[in-house]
Structure 1
Amino acid sequence: MDRGSFIQHSVMLMGSLVFTRGPAQSHNTIPGVLGPVSLSSLGVTLIHEHTMVDFIGASETGVHRYHADAVVETVLPYLIALKKAGCATFVDCTPAYIGRDVTILKRLAQASGLNIITNTGYYGAAKEKYLPAHAYTETAEQLATRWVGEFRKGIDGTGIYPGFIKTGVDAGPLTPVCEKLLEAAALAHLQTGLTISAHTGNGEAALQELTILQKAGVSPDAFRWVHAQNEKDKQLHLQAARMGAWIEFDGINGSDPTGLQQHVDFVVSMKEHNLLNKVLISHDAGWYHVGEPDGGTFRSYTALFETFIPALKREGFTDRDIRQLLVDNPRKSLIIRVREL
């Protein structure tokens, strides 16, 4: 049995493609940490940000490593500033075993007024430092069952549900365990309709990820190529977008003029090739670093509004283009529905 046939067989074993949502959810909502958020309420959305991260490794991380009150006190002013800048929805991309704490996210959502969306899944990038031991011993089907369980029953008994799947791989070719993570993500998507955000080391890895998903019968439209700006070959961005993938340029940083211009160039290239409808933009900012004094250096979430959008407008981007990038594309990419080939 080839890999694609195995995955399809596994899907059947997991429930004959029965699409079961968590409590009180519908096809017109996304699970937020405070409850379902209507698609029409998502508004301006930052698709890839972080509040807290813990880089010590999967075997040592845990709630014993930080004080929740300190994290909230540090992060909240930045989220309030983001809300004032016009953002409505904040997608927190920190996965389990690298600092995900949904109870802190709930407190921050309550205090800031932002919609905050969290995730399920495992992160295999950074040479697999943040993978739990069972990621190596369990099958793709078993891993997917864990993630589907969080979607259907909530995360760690909190009553908070994930709104997408987050995984991560280094540059290609993918390691066997990272291939398995993508197989598990495919299985979980086909069971839940959750879309897949994958930290991706380069274009080779992105194309390999897409091949794995397609072999499982998952449309590239379910896939967000996270950190696409790290791949400098624009042709690979175009190739993946034409396949249907979402191309996410998420390293916007107002203190890095060279990097900022590169992001502008990438987005301009996508527009020139009539692919602006597949572009996502964000900062990959924040990062209260557990273990560092006062959480280390925190990067704000407003450079996109203060410097990047004005730079796009100088390139001729219209208000309609900006709305597509900040409202329409993120909403479409997050919609919960099974995307089959």
Structure 2
Amino acid sequence: MQWPRNWKNQIVTVDGVIQTRALGLTLIHEHVLVDFIGADKISFDRWEHESVIQKVLPYLFEAKERGITSIAECTPAYLGRDVNLLQKLSEKSGLQIITNTGFYGASDNKFLPQIAKTETARQLADRWINEFRYGIDGTTIKPGFIKIGVNPGPLSDLHKKLVTAAALTHLATGLTICSHTGPAATAREELKILENLGVHPRAFVWVHASGSDEEFVQLGKMGCWISLDGIHENNLDKNAATISLLKSHGFMDQILISHDAGWYRPGEPDGGPFKSFTTISDKFLPFLMHRGFSWKEINQLMVNNPAQMLAIRIRKI
């Protein structure tokens, strides 16, 4: 892959660099494969590419048939990130797939390697920066965003280190930070760390955003991305209400939506049950339009916002 000298309006996929205008209809938080065995036991020989492809490919085709052109695959290292598999699926499906760098500390550090506990934030950042510069796991495939995870509640020192490492990585690469977070109070604490390091809130995605209406508005005013990424048939009204609230306060250009669906589970028969990537296309977007959202606003949610979020751009205060 030829590395551009000027990153303006560029996004990195598993197949190389594209222009933001080429991203199209995008699901910004999905999974192909997730292995919950833990960082100390995970290995690539726990799954076979052909078996995963046979299971997952029909679901990718379903999404593509509905006009989806790109998927941000949010499985981090030590939880089943397999960039060679993603590249094969991208080629076979025709979808643009974006992978990530970073470490996942949520779930009480079960998926953190030992180096996350022993190395400094600077050392961790250098690892993630090197994946962006040189490729992941010995390949030339490069990450298109940073994925970290923290526990809800006050941040531990270890999780503060992950956020700091993500901030340092952003300042060196322009990759956006997507942090599995949940509660608004935790997101505010993360944003404070970024602020102290000179990173603009626009470089931060509040993943699994949850809180009161007041908290959603407060975080919206801070300027971060607000990711409603657990959309399914039983919460359409709740998510529509949150989007309407944010829209009423002028935050439509900060909202991201996705399913957090998938995923093949190594160790389970045939990879276990798999959640499709079609509820937003089939159910949620018509639901929004029935409540008065325009095509322009749908395009904002599905095309413009993902492209701006994934654009390689160092965002400083």
Code of the residue aligned with 1:239 in structure 2: it is: Q
Distance in 2 between the 1:232 and 1:166 partners? 21
Please, what is the CA RMSD of the aligned residues?
1.0
Distance in 1 between the 2:2 and 2:213 partners? 42
Counterpart in the other structure of 2:231: 252
Counterpart in the other structure of 1:239: 218
Check conservation: 1:123, 1:130, Cα contact below 8 A: yes
Counterpart in the other structure of 1:286: 262
Check conservation: 1:172, 1:208, Cα contact below 8 A: no
Check conservation: 1:167, 1:181, Cα contact below 8 A: yes
Distance in 1 between the 2:53 and 2:18 partners? 22
Counterpart in the other structure of 2:137: 156
Structure 2: gaps of 5 or more residues: none
Code of the residue aligned with 2:187 in structure 1: it is: A
If the length of structure 2 is used for normalisation, what is the TM-score? 0.98
2:294 is equivalent to residue 318 of structure 1: yes
Code of the residue aligned with 2:223 in structure 1: it is: G
Check conservation: 1:278, 1:329, Cα contact below 8 A: yes
Aligned pairs for 1:136-285 (under 5 A) are 136-228=117-209, 231-254=210-233, 256=234, 259-285=235-261
Distance in 1 between the 2:69 and 2:112 partners? 32
Check conservation: 1:23, 1:152, Cα contact below 8 A: no
Check conservation: 1:119, 1:163, Cα contact below 8 A: yes
Find 2:10's aligned residue among 29, 33, 45: 29
Distance in 2 between the 1:296 and 1:333 partners? 32
Counterpart in the other structure of 2:20: 39
Distance in 2 between the 1:94 and 1:271 partners? 30
Counterpart in the other structure of 2:281: 305
CA shift, 1:265, in A, is 1.0
1:297 counterpart SS class: coil
Number of matched pairs = 315
- Per-residue CA distance 1:98-155 (angstroms, 9 max, x = gap): 0000000000000000000000000000111100001010000000000000000000
Distance in 1 between the 2:185 and 2:226 partners? 14
Give the ranges of 4+ consecutive aligned residues of structure 1 lying more than 4 Å apart after TM superposition: none
Distance in 2 between the 1:32 and 1:329 partners? 17
Distance in 1 between the 2:91 and 2:237 partners? 35
Distance in 2 between the 1:178 and 1:131 partners? 11
Check conservation: 1:119, 1:162, Cα contact below 8 A: yes
- Per-residue CA distance 1:207-226 (angstroms, 9 max, x = gap): 00100111110000000000
Distance in 2 between the 1:62 and 1:233 partners? 40
Distance in 2 between the 1:56 and 1:289 partners? 10
Counterpart in the other structure of 1:67: 48
Check conservation: 1:207, 1:240, Cα contact below 8 A: yes
Identity of aligned residues (%): 50
Counterpart in the other structure of 2:67: 86
1:37 counterpart SS class: strand
Check conservation: 1:182, 1:212, Cα contact below 8 A: yes
Structure 1: gaps of 5 or more residues: 1-21
Check conservation: 1:170, 1:202, Cα contact below 8 A: no
- Per-residue CA distance 1:46-85 (angstroms, 9 max, x = gap): 1110000000000001112111110111000000110110
CA shift, 1:29, in A, is 2.0
Counterpart in the other structure of 2:35: 54
Counterpart in the other structure of 1:134: 115
Check conservation: 1:246, 1:279, Cα contact below 8 A: yes
CA shift, 1:156, in A, is 1.3
Check conservation: 1:288, 1:297, Cα contact below 8 A: yes
1:186 counterpart SS class: helix
If the length of structure 1 is used for normalisation, what is the TM-score? 0.91
Q: Which moved more, 1:288-297 or 1:110-119?
A: 288-297
Code of the residue aligned with 1:260 in structure 2: it is: L
Distance in 2 between the 1:337 and 1:321 partners? 24
